[in-house]
Structure 1
C-alpha cells in the first residue's frame, strides 16, 4: 500500500477518536518527515477542535486476558433480590388547588401493590410568601412510621403534633413531613392537617407500603436475623420521604421517631444554633422508675470485623463505646462514629450532597458480596466524613422514648 494512503488512514483514525493535538506530533514521529504535510495536520486540528484544552490525552490501552468472544457474567445481577414490578394499571398523576391554601395530591404506582401510593401536601401560602419566614433557618421535621401502633400505647398522631408544638421554635419556620405504610393513618393525617395548617407553612404526608419485607412485625423487629431487611426497608422509606419533601429553602432537617414522648422545648433551637453538621441527643426510657438507654446505634470507636466465611455475623463493638457509656459527659458535644434515628439533626445541605441513609451494609462491601456493618443510620456518619462532615452526640440533652 502506498505510504500516502497509510497516512490518510491514520489521519482519519485520529479524527474519529478526537485525541489531543499531542497525537499529531506523535504521528509525525512515527511517519517521519518524508512526505509529511504540516499544513494538513494543522488544518485538521483547527477545523475539528476549537480548543485543545477541551480534550484529554487518550487513555492507555486496557489489557485484558479475555478473548474478544469470551462471554462474561455479571457480578451484581445474580445476587440482586427480586423486586415486584410497578403496577402498570396505576398512572402517575398530580392535582393542585390554589389560594388561600394550596393543596397538592399525587398518586403513583407501587411495586407489587394494587393500591397506588399517595402524597398529600397542604401549604399556607401567606406564610410561605411572607418575608423572613423561610429565608433563615427553616426546619423540616421528618417522621417515618408504620401504623397507629407506631405512636406507642395510648398515643396517636395528635400527641406527635402536640410534641412538635411544644418546641421553642417559630412555627412559621417549621415544615412537617410524614410517611406511613397505613392508609388509615394517611387519611387521619389529611384531616388533622386542617387543624394545624394555620400554624405551619407546609404539612406533607406520604402513603407508601411496598418496601416492607414479608414476615416483619412489631414484635420481632429486633431479631438479629431480620435486621438487614428491616433496616434496608427503613433506609428506603427515609430516603424516599426526604427526597419527596425537602425543598431548596429548607436549611435544617430534624428526624423524630413516632414513639418519642418527650423532647426538651429548646432542643431544636440548640441544634440549629450549634453550627454542627449532624447531631443526636441521648435517648432514654423509664422502666419502673429507672432510666435506661434506648438507642444502641449511637457509638464511637472500633467495631468487630467479619471473617471471610462467617455467614452469621452480627455487628457489634470491639473497642467501641455506646453513646450513653462515654466517660466524659461534661461537654455539650462529643464525637460519634455512628448515630441512631430516634431524634437526629442533619444540616439540610449535607443531605443534598448525597449523604443519605445507606440501604445496604457499606462497611466491608465488595462487588460480589454485601458488607457487614453500617446500614441505615449507622452508615450516615461514614458517608458524611468523606465530605468533611462530622457527627456529634449531645450527652447533656435527653429525649424520652415510649415504654
Structure 2
C-alpha cells in the first residue's frame, strides 16, 4: 500500500510539474513575459537596454496645447537627425494587451521590443497618439529610457461612440471603426512627420518581431524603387495569419468597374478568392519580397516621400468611389495600395521567408 501511494504521489507531482511548466514557460513560443527566469516565475521583468542605449544627455522638452485642444509633449535631442519615424496608436492601458497568462503589458514592453530591432535608436523618432491622460503622463517618463532623436506624444480624449474593444473585429462595426482608425493614423502621421525618410507603423499589441525585420524592410525600400510600402507576415501563437488585411487579388475581373447592383456580389467574390500572405510567401527565403494589392497595419513601412506626395489612409471605401457614393472596399490600410498606385514608388510588398510580427495572445 505505501508503495502504491508513493507511485501515485510521484505521478501526481509529475503531472503538476508539467502543467506548471506549460503555463509558465509556454513551450509553444517564448512569451514576452517569460524572456528571463525571474519573469517566468512571476518576479517581474527587467527593462535593460544595454550600455550603448543610454538616454541622450542633452535634450529640449516642451509641453504645449495645440489650437484644437490636443496636448503635445515633445523631446528633441541635441543634434538630432532622425531618418526613421516609428508610429503607434494607443487608446489606453489595455491597448498594450496581455499575454497567455493575462499578464498586462505596458509601454515599457513596447520599448523593449524597439530596443532589440537592430535599429540605431539615436536615429529614430517616436510618435504616439493616446486617448488616455494617465498613459500620456506615464509615456513622458518611459521614453527617457531610450535615446530617441525625437519624441512626440499627443493626447486627445476619445469622444467617439465606437465599438467596444472586444467587438472591434465584428463585421457590423468594421467600417466605422476602421474609418476612425484611418483618421487617427493620418492625424498622427501628418503631425509627427518632419524630415524622416521612412515611417514604420507598429500595433501597440505586437509582442515579437523576427530578427532583423525592420532593417530588412529599410534595405528593400532603399534598393527597390517601387517598394514604397512594405509589410510582413503577422500571427498569434495559434493563428498563422492574424492580419487578414494583407492580400493579393486573384480574380482579374475585379480590376474593372463594378455596377452598383453587383457590389455585394463583388465583395463576396473578392473575399472568397483573394490570396493571403502565408500562401504568397510559401517557399520563399528571407531575402524575398512579394507584391501585394492590400496591406495591414500590424507592421507597415511607408516611404515618407509618398506622404509628401499626398498619400494618406483612406477613411472611406475608396475603391469604386463615384461623385454620388463611396466605393465598395478599401478603407484604411486596405485602400492604401490603391491610393498609392499612381504615385512614384507606390508599390506594396510583403517580406518573404521567416520574417514576421507576433501579436499578443489576447488582443
TM range (shorter): 0.7 to 0.9
Moved over 4 A (4+): 302-307, 309-316
Q: For 1:250-399, what aligned pairs fall within 5 Å after superposition?
A: 250-274=196-220, 275=222, 276-287=227-238, 291-302=239-250, 308-309=260-261, 316-326=270-280, 328-330=282-284, 332-388=288-344, 389-396=346-353, 397-399=355-357
State the distance in 1 between where 2:214 and 2:297 align.
15
Q: TM-score, normalised by structure 1?
A: 0.66
- Displacement of 1:335 after TM fit? 0.6
Verify the 8 A CA contact 2:263 2:328 in the aligned structure 1: no
Indicate the SS of the match to 1:242.
helix
Verify the 8 A CA contact 2:241 2:277 in the aligned structure 1: no
Indicate the SS of the match to 1:244.
helix
Larger Rg: 1
Indicate the SS of the match to 1:326.
helix
- Cα deviation, 1:339-358, whole Å, max 9, x if unaligned, reads 00000011111121111101
Q: Which has the higher contact order (CA 8 A, sep 6+)?
A: 2
Change over 3 Å in CA distance of 1:383–1:311 after alignment to 2: closer
- Corresponding residue for 2:50? none
- Cα deviation, 1:173-210, whole Å, max 9, x if unaligned, reads 111111111111111111212333xx111111111234
State the distance in 1 between where 2:229 and 2:263 align.
33
- Displacement of 1:106 after TM fit? 2.5
With 318-327 and 233-242 compared, the bigger mean Cα shift is at: 318-327
Verify the 8 A CA contact 1:186 1:207 in the aligned structure 2: yes
Indicate the SS of the match to 1:143.
strand
Indicate the SS of the match to 1:378.
helix
1:188 to 138, 145, 152: 138
Verify the 8 A CA contact 2:162 2:176 in the aligned structure 1: no
- Cα deviation, 1:113-135, whole Å, max 9, x if unaligned, reads xxx3211111111x41xxxx54x
Whether 1:168 aligns to 2:118 is yes
Change over 3 Å in CA distance of 1:205–1:193 after alignment to 2: same
With 254-263 and 326-335 compared, the bigger mean Cα shift is at: 326-335
1:225 to 151, 158, 172: 172
- How many correspondences in the alignment? 285
- Corresponding residue for 2:105? 155
- Displacement of 1:400 after TM fit? 0.8
Q: For 1:104-119, what aligned pairs fall within 5 Å after superposition?
A: 104-108=62-66, 110=68, 116-119=69-72
For structure 1, which runs of at least 5 residues remain unmatched after alignment?
Answer: 1-98, 111-115
- Displacement of 1:326 after TM fit? 2.1
Indicate the SS of the match to 1:372.
coil
For structure 2, which runs of at least 5 residues remain unmatched after alignment?
Answer: 1-56, 99-103
The structure where helix makes up a greater share of residues is 2
State the distance in 2 between where 1:360 and 1:120 align.
30
State the distance in 2 between where 1:340 and 1:356 align.
14
